[in-house]
Amino acid sequence: MRSTGIEFRTEGSSVLCLRYKVSPRHGRADEKVVASFDVAVDRVAPHVAAVLTAPERQRLQHWLSDRHTLQQGLRHEPLENTVLESLPALLDEAISAAASAEDMDIATYQLIKRKLTTLERMLDNVESQSQPDKLELKVMNDEEVLKEQLRTIKRRL
């Protein structure tokens, strides 16, 4: 992360424009929401443009373009591919949750173990692996890509 900049994050039905500055003393970013707009908007709205600098507006335009490219790609991709491509990030979240869990319901524990064993068996039976067509995203981070994948899965289930 750069020492200062702008980041765009979806939360619910809004896109937040977060200006950040990394504190040299603490090494963590202080974020401030400078604008927000409806997630359905696909261009830089006037009220947003008014509070962003020219480079920030350009970065937002790239982010919106990335989101459109990703949505188009997900729309034409089989649901199975989207589910499998999002799985590593979901497993990372599950690993973090398990690492911090002090207790777990026995039924949940057993179900997760069975599902992971079945998944491992299914993966061992995959006949070939190929390089996916990678979308060229300029600005959108992996967390936002995952959110978009999960929204796509939710809509299509």
Provide mean pLDDT across the span 118-130.
87
Helices (H), ranges, the chain = 46-49, 54-76, 79-100, 106-124, 142-156
Q: Give the CA-trace dihedral at 148, 149, 154, 157, to 10 degrees.
A: 150
What does pLDDT average to over the chain? Answer: 91
Q: Which residues contact 153 (CB under 8 A, 6 or more apart)?
A: 79, 82, 83, 86
Q: CA gyration radius for the chain?
A: 19
Q: What is the pLDDT of residue 108?
A: 93
pLDDT digits (tens, 9 = 90+) for 56-95: 999 999 999 999 999 999 999 999 999 999 999 999 999 9
* 4-11: strand order across its sheet: 4-11, 14-22, 29-38
pLDDT at residue 124 is higher than 70: yes
Q: Which two tokens stand for residue 105?
A: 């319901």
Q: What is the pLDDT of residue 148?
A: 93
Query: Is 140 in contact with 10 (CB distance < 8 Å)?
Result: no
pLDDT at residue 22 is higher than 60: yes
Query: Is 4 in contact with 20 (CB distance < 8 Å)?
Result: yes
Residue 68 to residues 62, 100, 127: CA-CA distances in angstroms? 10, 36, 33
pLDDT at residue 1 is higher than 70: no
More confident residue, 96 or 136: 96
Query: Is 59 in contact with 15 (CB distance < 8 Å)?
Result: no
